[in-house]
């Protein structure tokens, strides 16, 4: 668990959605990448925020900056949060567009929680299929 006062919140099937932690007299929801999903709110509203967000977005493409002359389109392979003093990590790979015949692609190990250089794509990002 990332912090001693954070409480795990899981889906009905046991999949981790994130955590809820105290903020004064209220609660804040945090997703599996360590990003706040809600502002300070009631406990049930924090649970709802995590459940509405889900985890499907982890399968979306992401952009990794600082490894090449332009942002790289990547996919998240692993998210391991901090646990009892052991640093967590986020493992991403260059997006291979599901090509199983392609040789293995470069992987990058990043710190947890999500660093600023790993972000959602924007309309101005380069097309990764164009060299």
- Output the pLDDT for position 85: 82
Task: State yes or no: pLDDT of 111 exceeds 90.
Answer: yes
Does this model's pTM top 0.85? yes
Residues 6+ apart with CB under 8 A from 93: 74, 75, 77, 105, 106, 107, 108
Whole-number percent of the chain with pLDDT over 70: 97
Reported as a single tens digit per residue, the pLDDT across 41-71 is 999 999 999 999 999 999 999 999 999 999 9
Give the full edge-to-edge strand order of the sheet including 62-64.
107-111, 89-94, 72-80, 62-64, 118-119
- Output the pLDDT for position 83: 87
Reported as a single tens digit per residue, the pLDDT across 65-109 is 999 999 999 999 999 999 888 899 999 999 988 787 888 889 999
R_g (Cα) of the chain, nearest Å = 16
CA dihedral sign, ordered 87, 63, 31, 16: negative
Residues 12-38: what's their mean pLDDT?
97
């Amino acid at each position: 668990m990332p912090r001693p006062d954070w409480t795990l919140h899981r889906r009905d099937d046991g999949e981790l959605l994130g955590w809820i932690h105290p903020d004064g007299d209220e609660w804040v929801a945090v997703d599996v990448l360590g990003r706040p999903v809600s502002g300070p709110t009631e406990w049930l509203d924090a649970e709802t925020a995590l459940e509405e967000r889900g985890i499907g977005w982890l399968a979306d493409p992401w952009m990794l900056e600082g490894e090449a002359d332009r942002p790289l389109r990547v996919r998240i392979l692993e998210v391991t949060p901090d646990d009892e003093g052991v640093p967590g990590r986020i493992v991403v790979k260059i997006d291979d567009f599901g090509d199983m015949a392609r040789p293995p692609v470069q992987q990058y190990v990043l710190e947890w929680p999500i660093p600023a250089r790993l972000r959602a794509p924007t309309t101005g990002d380069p097309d990764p299929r164009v060299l």
